[in-house]
Homo-oligomer: A and B are copies of this chain.
Amino acid sequence: MEVAQALSSARFVLITSHRSPDGDALGSELALWEMCGLLGRQAVVVNRDPHPASLAFLPNLAKAQVTERVPAELLDQVDLVVFLECPGPERPGFPELLPKPLVNVDHHLDNPLYGTVNFVDPEAPAVGEMLLAVADAAGVALTPTMATCLYTALVTDTGDFRYSNATPRAFAAAQRLVEAGAQPAAIAEALNDHVPARVIRLQALVLGTLELQADGRVAVITCTADMLKTAGAFPEDTEDMINIVRAIDGVKVAVFFKAFAPDTVRVSLRSKGPINVQKLAAAFGGGGHENASGLTFHGDLPQARAAILPGILQLLEKA
């Protein structure tokens, strides 16, 4: 395998991933860092952005440096760069690395194979899973710390095996990683124990706005700039809330009005089954998928409600 060969013949490997690294990015980086060490190669992990608090438990995390630019004296030593889970070469935010020999390991379908060596497998549940093949080809036996990092990559990218990439291959990898020492319960607890208090405060306020319409088939929630202020929260803290009300028994469509700025309302739409909310979003210049879409409405909250909600009732009647 080309990747294993490239690693084995390198002297100094710089490993990176996309900005705002997630579990697959950071878990894969740290496992590969350890693999390089076992292969007798010098290696560093460098990222533009710090890790989320939920990943603070990852073994060897202290080895991952966060920097705006790769220092020139480090760059001079590096003779191989590995980009993990980057669908494009700009993703790590380190243009200074691009002239180097580059290994591109990714599982995005649209990866344009920008590396000197490319290992791109859209069937892979996570890049962490692909590194099992790299370890095997390089003759590296999995350690418990490596298994912990790769299991974290797998479990975060498959949403606790609840996404469509929870394939037989994902479960085969999980089995192998647990056999090698990954502890699913401890990892799950570590991953889930870092919800900021402000998110819970905001959740209380937003869920308090819940309205059910059309005999409980439509759930509507709202977040205002005042609520953000009261909770000390940020717009991105609202991210998962529409899924909480989408899961209500009997609800077919969930609508989330986010009135953060004057005269602009962000509207998120989720549906279950054959109810196409993308069409409604498109009518307002928005986009997305059949069951998950969004739009930006220019007007105030009452105007947004008056414009959007009747369209949802129509969708329900047609379905």
Residues of chain A touching chain B, judged by Cβ–Cβ distance below 8 Å, are 53, 155, 160-164, 166-168, 171-172, 174-176, 178-179, 184-185, 188-189, 192-197, 200-201, 203-208, 210, 212, 216, 219, 244-251, 272
Contacts and interface: CB of A to CB of B under 8 A. Distances in A.
A128 to B, nearest CB: 15
29 contacts: A155-B161, A160-B160, A160-B162, A161-B161, A162-B185, A166-B178, A166-B184, A166-B185, A168-B178, A171-B171, A171-B174, A171-B178, A189-B272, A193-B247, A193-B272, A195-B244, A195-B248, A195-B249, A196-B248, A197-B210, A197-B216, A197-B249, A197-B250, A200-B210, A200-B244, A201-B210, A203-B203, A205-B208, A207-B207
A3 B238 CA distance: 51
A162 to B, nearest CB: 4
Contact of A161 (B160, B200, B249): B160
A142 B24 CA distance: 33
- A interface SS class: helix
A133 B73 CA distance: 60
Contacts of A250: 197
B167 A171 contact: no
A196 B212 CA distance: 12
Nearest to A167: B178
Nearest to A219: B197
Nearest to A171: B175
Given A163-B184, A171-B172, 7 more contacts: A155-B161, A161-B174, A161-B188, A167-B178, A168-B175, A171-B175, A201-B210
Contact of A249 (B196, B205, B206): B196
A163, A178, A179, A200 — most chain B CB neighbours (10 Å): A200
A197 B161 contact: no
B166 A200 contact: no
A188 B204 contact: no
Given A161-B160, A164-B185, A249-B195, A204 B201 contact: no
Nearest to A216: B197
Contacts of A196: 248-249
Contact of A245 (B176, B200, B249): B200
A170 B134 CA distance: 25
A210 B216 contact: no
Contacts of A194: 247, 249
